[in-house]
Amino acid sequence: MVVLRHMRRPVFALIVVYAVGITGMALIPGTGVDGNPEKMSLFHAFYFFTYTATTTGFGEIPNAFSDEQRLWAIFCLYMGAIAWLYAIGSIIRLVQNPHFTTAVNEHSFARGVRRLTDPFVIICGFGDTGSLLARGLSDHSIRATVLDRDPERIKAFAVRDYRVRMLGLCAQPDVPRHLIDAGVRQPMCKAVVALTNEEDTNRQIAIVAKLLNPAVKVISRSTSERHCKHLSSLRDVQVVNPFAVFAELLDMAIVTPLQHNLNSWLVGVPGTRLGYPLTVPCGEWILCGYGRMGQELHRRLVCHGIHVVVIDPDVDECVAPGRVVRGFADHDTLREAGVEQAAGIVAGTDSDSDNLGILVCVQHLNTDAFTVVRQNRHENQLAFDAAKADLILQSSLTTARRILKTLISPLINELIDYLHGKDQPTKEIINRLQAAVGERTPHLFRIGITSEEALAVMEYLDTGMQLVLGDLFLDPGKLDEALPCVPLVIRRASGLVMLPGDTETVNRGDGILFCGTVGSERLLRATLNNPYTLHQLTTGVEEPRGYFFQWLDRKLSSRHGLS
């Protein structure tokens, strides 16, 4: 419709010029072969006008033209060239029209989304967090559709090298028709993630998504207490507050360092070594910045009986209980707060330059202090890595990891909660993971015991035979060795089975969360769908494959039976 509306006049102009030119050429008599007057047929007139109007010029047909015809041909040549220039100019203007470009992009995007047959996630907002989340989904071979109002971000998205095809559109993500184009109503839509920089926009996206598809899962980033309460009241809506998440992680590092180490290793925090937890001191701490993050951390630290000194130019003792030093965190105020004797320092302002400056001062005044720093912009990653802080809060990375963990392996949260305060089971699973995965990058994956994901296992269970976990992750090439993966949680109708052993039975409908390597997932999925391999792992005997070898095996068996 957009093309027809913009090209209506140029098309009419071409039709009129062609009609007049062809009619005139057919009516004007020429000279035949015998010298008698002869008129051109409509087909010849159309053919002549076609190559004349396009300035190709193949000659005079079917006979030499009369002067009258040549005069009319000159008129047709100029009129045709003018009409085509007008039409081509209109086409160029149409292509350059931003409304036409937007309409074409929206149509192409919606058509591509409708063709998706695999599960996908809708990401609203392609900033630092959206970019990190899209990369994580791609690494796990999960597709995503992206909406962002900034055309530069969509251009950056288009040149990313993802493992699977990702679709992006420059549009307002809180507009219902754009969410529909992104696939919110499609059955393969796994979740809608709201990651824009505006709290109100994220809330709008969450509400609209639930109205358009009440069954879809919605995850929204929010640091506003009012918005968090409002969104949490909606069904199947998860709110991720990066400051609360980081405060929770710091709390875990203080109370249960082994669980914090395991959680950091599972989500792929760089530099984390399994079995080497952080040691967070519990002496006096200095908190630089009492904003949203500072308030969350202050509350957690005070709950553990840690004395906290707050440095902030806009806070008083009635707001932050305890000792307060008013002013900006610099060399003098840090010394006034007692940095030389402090056990820990939190650089939690909303300025990366201020936070890096605080770290530099602390490294000169107290090299033994435990340092926690807030990183606001992802592009400053190299500078913060060089600062060598003990804990870094990068809001976008913390949010992306939490959301990715929720989408890929939500059972991890159940496992960490189960292990809270249980050091012995935590040590046992850490030892198993160290033996299986070692120094390799951990890879979380979930396998469902269903016909779609484990056909051979379902057929095996249908025979009435019992299958245990230990049989599944044996190495088909080395039956005396196991694949480098460890089962962590089993979700079944009767409840959750935490840290299942090798003798745990496998039931229909089980959802098993594994931690291993990418290669172990491929081999395990192949085993679950290959009846020959599964038979070999459960019995130790390799069955013959193919009609000839099966016939030969029956013959040999019958001979041995007779003998």
| pLDDT surpasses 60 at 484 | yes
Show contacts of 383-387: CB within 8 Å, 24+ apart.
383/352, 383/356, 384/352, 384/356, 387/356, 387/359, 387/360
3-state DSSP: the chain helix, strand, coil percent, rounded to 5? 50, 15, 35
Q: What is the pLDDT of residue 548?
A: 57
- Give the pLDDT confidence score for residue 123 in this predicted structure: 95
Given this model, what pLDDT does residue 533 score?
A: 83
Kindly report the average pLDDT of the chain as a whole number. 85
Range 500-534 burial, b when 16+ CB lie within 10 A, else e: beeebebeeebbbbbbbbeebbebbeebbbeeebb
The mean per-residue pLDDT over the stretch 95-112 comes to: 83
pLDDT band for position 33 (cuts 50, 70, 90) = low
Separation of alpha carbons 215 and 237, rounded Å: 10
Identify which of 445, 452, 450, 449 has the alpha carbon closest to the alpha carbon of residue 407: 445
User: What pLDDT, on the 0 to 100 scale, is given for residue 563?
Assistant: 46
User: What is the SS3 assignment for 474-522?
Assistant: EECCEEEEECCCEEEEEEECCEEEECCCCCCECCCCCEEEEEECHHHHH
pLDDT in tens, 283-303: 889 999 888 888 888 888 888
Rounded to whole angstroms, the Cα distance separating 547 from 89 reads 68
User: Would you say residue 547 has pLDDT above 80?
Assistant: no
- For the chain, which domains are there? 2-96 (1.10.287.70), 113-240 (3.40.50.720), 244-408 (3.40.50.720), 419-539 (3.30.70.1450)
Residue among 344, 340, 346, 351 nearest 383 (CA): 351
Across the chain, how many H-helices and E-strands are there?
23, 20
The residue assigned the tokens 């701490």 is 285
Percent of the chain with pLDDT over 70: 91
Is the pLDDT score of 560 beyond 70? no
Mean pLDDT of 489-497: 89
Question: pLDDT tens digits, residue range 223-258?
Answer: 887 777 777 777 788 889 888 888 888 888 888 889
For residue 208, is pLDDT > 50?
yes
Instruction: Concatenate the DSSP letters of all residues of 160-216 into one string.
Output: ---SS--EEEES-TTSHHHHHHTTTTSTTEEEEEE--S-HHHHHHHHHHHHHH-TTS
Tell me how far apart the alpha carbons of residues 191 and 520 are, in angstroms, rounded to a whole number. 27
For the residues 73-91, what does the mean pLDDT come to? 83
Spatial distance between the Cα atoms of 421 and 153, rounded to a whole number of angstroms: 43
Q: In angstroms, rounded to a whole number, what is the distance separating the alpha carbons of residues 17 and 3?
A: 21
Residue 178 pLDDT exceeds 50 = yes
What distance in Å separates the CA atoms of residue 478 and residue 146, rounded to the nearest whole number?
44
- pLDDT at position 557, please? 61
Percent of the chain with pLDDT over 90: 23
Q: What does the pLDDT look like over 349-387, one tens digit per residue?
A: 888 999 999 999 998 888 889 999 988 888 888 888 888
Cβ–Cβ < 8 Å for 244, 216: no
Asked whether residue 338 carries a pLDDT value surpassing 60, the answer given is yes
